[in-house]
Amino acid sequence: MSKLKVGFVGVGLMGLPMVRNIAKKNYPLVVWNRSRKNLKKINKQKIEVCQSIINLPDQCEVIIMMLSNDKVCLEISNKLVKKIKKNQILIDMSSTKQKTAIEIEKKIKSKGGYFLDAPVSGGTLAAKIGKLAIMVGGEKKIFEKTKNLLKSMGSVTHVGKTGSGQVAKLANQAIVGITIGAVSEALILTEAAGADPKAVRKAIKNGFAGSPILEIHGKRILEKDFKPGGKCSTQLKDMKNIIETANTYKIKLPLSEKIKKLYEIIVKEGKSNLDHSALYLLIKKLKKHDSNL
């Protein structure tokens, strides 16, 4: 069976390794990116470069977007929809609001196309090794048609109707943000009490408190290595979307609200481009009089 020809929009921090993994599975691939910088890093023998976004739908069957925020996703989808063809598929792997996914789908469906929202988790490390967790919302038959393509980038799960992928990603990010805070506090407590934080992390990581956050971000914190895998600014965007979605359904998420406030502070301090594990730096310097945060 011939492989789907893929168009990819957004060859950035996450998009570049995702493109490389799709190419490794020998999918015909054409990419577009607003900046030309990362296009110099792709293998031109395996990957075509589209010069104009408006022409991309003419060159592929499936289009994947991996973009920075809702505004950009809406902007790019508005351009793509002008030339989307009947039965063409648009997959948005960016992290957006649920309502953004639903809005994009309506536009694509009006032209006879199909849409999946398929945000990812795992950061740049998982993107590089093709081990992203991919959460997909949309029609099951379209999911089945594109599942093997998505598997080239990681593990794939269909989680429900359109917008459900974004809800799953918000659930993921609530756990990530809150757990980074918990790991930070645990290591700060360890240091303050005079125990060896490296030894404590080793002791507890195979117990009930063990998690990828303790493993990966705990190591980052101990080594003071805050080169971004996932940025503080991105985590803040996700926390805002979590609270907005909670408000839509009239539920209260007090831990997520607290973490959102902390990420707002760290971004205001100019640390938006540090890894989101840099939340540790803020919590470590908080004083007793900051407890009303």
Residues 59-83 as b/e (b if ≥16 CB within 10 A, e otherwise) read bbbbbbbbbbbbebbeebbeebbee
Tens-place pLDDT, residues 88-143: 999 999 999 999 999 999 999 999 999 999 999 998 889 999 999 999 999 999 99
Q: Which stretches of the chain score pLDDT less than 50?
A: none
Tens-place pLDDT, residues 245-254: 999 999 999 9
When the pLDDT of each residue in the chain is averaged and rounded to a whole number, the result is: 95
CATH 2.40.128.20 fits 167-290, yes or no: no
Q: What is the pLDDT of residue 288?
A: 63
For residue 266, count CB atoms less than 10 angstroms from its CB and return exposed for 0-12, middle for 13-18, buried for 19 or more.
buried
How far does Cα 63 stand from its chain's mean position? Answer: 17
Domain extents for the chain? Answer: 6-161, 167-290
User: Using CA atoms, how far apart are residues 19 and 24, in angstroms rounded to an integer?
Assistant: 9
| Maximum Cα interatomic distance, the chain, rounded to a whole number of Å | 65
Pick the CATH number of 6-161 from 3.40.50.920, 3.40.50.1950, 1.10.3720.10, 3.40.50.720: 3.40.50.720
Q: What is the pLDDT of residue 291?
A: 57
Q: What is the pLDDT of residue 289?
A: 59
Q: What is the pLDDT of residue 230?
A: 87
* H-run or E-run covering 289: none
- pLDDT over 70 for what percent of the chain? 98
Query: Which sequence positions are flagged as catalytic?
Result: 169
Place of tokens 């609270």: 243
Q: What is the pLDDT of residue 287?
A: 74
